């Protein structure tokens, strides 16, 4: 391990904010960066990072530490991204649920099942706000 990388070697996370820290390319197996997860069609699945890799960016003068978080591959979940066809179908279904069968109006809300029509149509037949 090159000498400058030693300061990034901190498996217990004492020096780098509590997260186990490894130099770039020295991270243990079973961990992956978000970018690596994405390449595998995975996402962190709501889990926080379990470690981080650090490396030095820049030249001899004014270099900076770079950090990438590492996620547990075993906890990763398949990324669920709806394709355009799925999104269109979902949108259509939602529009249908917001369309009043009586007046054909697309409302800003889902048609209440108990009325089966929009509130404008249902209103005259129900005593809105009336004290029973
Ligand atoms: Zn209506």
From ligand 1's centre to the CA of 111, what distance in Å? 9
From ligand 1's centre to the CA of 95, what distance in Å? 14
Domain ranges of the chain: 3-78, 84-125
From ligand 1's centre to the CA of 86, what distance in Å? 28
The per-residue pLDDT for range 31-71, each reduced to its tens digit, is 999 999 988 889 998 899 999 999 888 766 777 888 999 99
pTM summary value: 0.56
* SS3 call for 57: strand
Could you tell me which of 26, 23, 28 has the C-alpha nearest to residue 8?
A: 23
41 and 79 in contact (C-beta within 8 Å)?
Answer: yes
On the CB side of 13, CA atoms within 13 Å amount to: 10
On the CB side of 56, CA atoms within 13 Å amount to: 14
Question: What residues does 71 pair with on adjacent strands?
Answer: 32
From ligand 1's centre to the CA of 87, what distance in Å? 26
């Amino acid at each position: 391990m090159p000498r400058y990388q030693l300061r990034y070697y901190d498996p217990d996370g004492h020096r780098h904010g509590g997260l186990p820290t490894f130099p770039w390319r020295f991270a243990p197996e079973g961990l992956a960066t978000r970018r690596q997860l994405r390449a595998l069609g995975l996402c962190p699945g709501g889990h926080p990072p379990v470690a981080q890799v650090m490396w030095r960016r820049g030249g001899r003068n004014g270099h900076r530490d770079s950090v990438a978080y590492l996620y547990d591959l075993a906890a990763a979940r398949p990324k669920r991204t709806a394709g355009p066809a799925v999104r269109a179908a979902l949108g259509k279904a939602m529009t249908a649920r917001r369309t009043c069968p009586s007046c054909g109006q697309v409302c800003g809300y889902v048609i209440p099942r108990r009325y089966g029509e929009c509130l404008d149509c249902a209103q005259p037949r129900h005593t809105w706000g009336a004290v029973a």
